[in-house]
């Protein structure tokens, strides 16, 4: 994913990319293609990129273990400055380009911001009911008949042990 900046006129330019995730070294849980809608504005020799990413990822739900696909989106802004990177620079939204740069390459930033957008909690649904701690049934598919009202977390290990013994 490259944008030629050599002789680019001032103003706003739009670029769309549709790239296989593996081409930018995005591995599991990502799959398929990543879409990048980029808007590059040039003014006074400064370049500002706004990018919107859309990718697909595949997860196992943290609660019920069901495998599901999810759409991952993120947006980021990147300012491109000409010159040497100052030593104390720690901004992740500024990239320094050599004075003779004729293109910008989006791959690394797109990969980083896609990874940042991965959720900490991976739920098939915000309201996923999870598995019954007693019998293991997926409660999204219906109730299992166990009494959940009186369940006390402190007894869970004991209940699981009891289930194991009963099942053997
Ligand atoms: Zn779930
Ligand atoms: Zn149950």
Per-position pLDDT tens, the chain of length 168: 999 998 899 999 999 999 999 999 999 999 999 999 999 999 987 899 999 999 999 999 999 999 999 999 999 999 998 877 777 767 778 998 888 889 999 999 999 999 999 999 999 999 999 999 999 999 999 999 898 766 566 666 766 776 777 665
Q: From the CA of 119, how far away is ligand 1's center (Å)? A: 14
| Helical residues (DSSP H) of the chain, grouped into ranges | 107-116, 156-167
Residue 30 Cα to ligand 1 midpoint, Å, equals 19
The per-residue pLDDT for 167 is: 65
Distance 69 CA to ligand 2 centre (A): 26
In angstroms, the CA 56 to CA 72 distance is: 6
Which strands sit side by side in the sheet containing 94-97, from one edge to the other? Answer: 11-20, 30-43, 46-60, 67-82, 94-97
Spell out the domain ranges in the chain: 2-116, 129-168
What is the phi/psi pair of residue 150, to 5°? -90, 5
CA–centroid distance, residue 45 to ligand 2 (Å): 65
């Amino acid at each position: 994913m490259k944008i030629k900046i050599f002789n680019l006129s001032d103003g706003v330019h739009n670029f769309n990319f549709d790239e296989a995730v593996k081409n930018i070294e995005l591995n599991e849980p990502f799959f398929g293609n990543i879409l990048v809608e980029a808007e590059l504005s040039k003014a006074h020799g400064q370049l500002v990129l706004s990018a919107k990413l859309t990718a697909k990822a595949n997860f196992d739900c943290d609660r019920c273990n069901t495998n599901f696909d999810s759409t991952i989106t993120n947006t980021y802004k990147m300012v491109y400055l000409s010159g040497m990177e100052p030593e104390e620079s720690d901004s992740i939204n500024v990239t320094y380009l050599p004075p003779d740069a004729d293109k910008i390459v989006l791959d690394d930033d797109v990969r980083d911001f896609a990874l940042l957008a991965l959720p900490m909690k991976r739920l098939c649904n915000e309201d996923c009911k999870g598995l019954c701690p007693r019998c293991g049934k997926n409660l999204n598919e219906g109730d299992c008949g166990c009494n959940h009202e009186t369940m006390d977390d402190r007894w869970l290990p004991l209940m699981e042990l009891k289930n194991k013994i009963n099942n053997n």
